[in-house]
Amino acid sequence: MVTASRILGVEVGSTAPIFLAVLAVHVVGGLTAVITGAAAALASKGSPRHIRAGRWFYRAITAVFVTAAALAAMRWAHDWYLFVLGAVAFTAATAGFLHRRRHRPGDVGHIAGMGIAYTAMLTAFYIDNGPHLPLWDRLPVLAFWLLPAVIAARLSPERSSARRTKHGFPARRHSRRRSLASRGEMWRETLGLVTV
């Protein structure tokens, strides 16, 4: 049985070499997914930067899911929910990736798939690590499950489009530069919130 240990003050599931090796790949994959997912969201849709970042995001999410499955298998009783969240993230990212790859009309499927994947990944991170992070350790457990989804809903392109229309600014008429600046501002604000 794999038992929890502490390394450099951080609690890890085990000090077994195979566990630590898989965990290292998992951490690198997770950091890559966070950075490339944000880069893709902030880049102009369809631009080479967006496409490149999106492809790296999908690769990173795949690595995160595979390693999460391996880590959960080693500590199933404690980490089964991380496998479920990893499967949700990978499935949603695959659906979003295939939506774009098959040139299906509209962006909703692509954006929703990638957004759900990013949200599920952050949810898993905070559920697993939130209780050990400064300031976050004061939040109730339910916040780790719900906060990423609440923030993601706030950043939803459909929601911000509806808000602009409600305030008398047609969504299609406002400039692309302003749209990207607003989205970038919201992402920077959110990333600041989730990395406290």
The per-residue pLDDT for 171 is: 45
- Please give the residue that has the higher pLDDT: either 11 or 129: 129
The whole-model pTM stands at 0.71
Q: At CB < 8 A and 24+ separation, what contacts does 23-26 make?
A: 23/67, 23/71, 25/63, 25/67, 26/63, 26/64, 26/67, 26/68, 26/71
DSSP H/E element including 192: helix 176-194
Rounded to an integer, what distance in angstroms lies between the CA atom of residue 192 and that of residue 73? 33
Q: Is 170 left (phi over 0), alpha (psi -120 to 50) or beta?
A: beta
Summarize pLDDT for 50-88 with one digit per residue, the tens.
999 999 999 999 999 999 999 999 989 888 999 999 999
HSE-CB of 22 using CA atoms within 13 angstroms: 19
Instruction: Give residue 144's pLDDT band: very low, low, confident or very high (50, 70, 90).
Output: confident
Neighbouring residues of 76: CB distance < 8 A, sequence distance ≥ 6: 83
Summarize pLDDT for 80-117 with one digit per residue, the tens.
999 999 999 999 999 999 998 887 777 889 999 999 99
The per-residue pLDDT for 169 is: 44
Q: Answer whether 145's CB lies under 8 Å from 119's CB.
A: no
